[in-house]
Amino acid sequence: MMIMEYLKRNRVCQHDKVSPEVDFAYCPDCGELIENQWFIMRCACCGVKVRAMIKNGEIVAQDKFCHNCGSSIYTIDRIDKINFIDVNYAVLVKKVVTHERPDITQSWVDSTQRANDIRLLLQQFQ
Ligand SMILES: [Zn+2]
Ligand SMILES: [Zn+2]
């Protein structure tokens, strides 16, 4: 699987022991507080879900063009909870929480905050 290949190449702790089933957990290998973040990629043109992966620290589509409409423009949405319908499409990012421990009820944030989160996430991988 593409994501695992990426993680293995990277020497930084990838928090592999943090279960994807929880929202937050402390990594037993490095002690950081980790937030599991799920992202779904969709075609910006027709809205169909497309398979995504992490490449060079960015979430990218596996296919260059939408299988449904041929568009090459995609959008990324963060989802609060993974479900069995989305699991084949979703990308899991284990993000280190650097600020004070977040209140879980405040983690369902508005779209502005999510955009900031994605920006932080991308910076973290650079
Ligand atoms: Zn770790
Ligand atoms: Zn499309």
Give 101's DSSP letter: P
What's the CA dihedral at 87, 34, 118, 101 to 10 degrees? 130
Ligand nearest to the CA of 17: 1
Summarised one tens digit per residue, pLDDT across range 52-74 is 998 888 899 999 999 999 999 99
Q: What confidence tens digit (pLDDT) does each residue in 6-19 have? A: 555 556 898 999 99
Per-residue pLDDT band for 88 (boundaries 50, 70, 90) equals: confident
Which structural domain range is residue 62 located in? 2-125
Task: For 72-98, give one letter per residue: b (16+ CB within 10 A) or e.
Answer: eebebebeeebeeeeeebbbebbbbee
pLDDT single digits (tens) 19-43: 998 999 999 999 999 999 999 999 9
Query: Relative to the alpha carbon of 65, which ligand is closest?
Result: 2
pLDDT, residue 31, reads: 94
Number of independent structural domains in the chain: 1
| Distance (Å) from CA 60 to ligand 2 centroid | 15
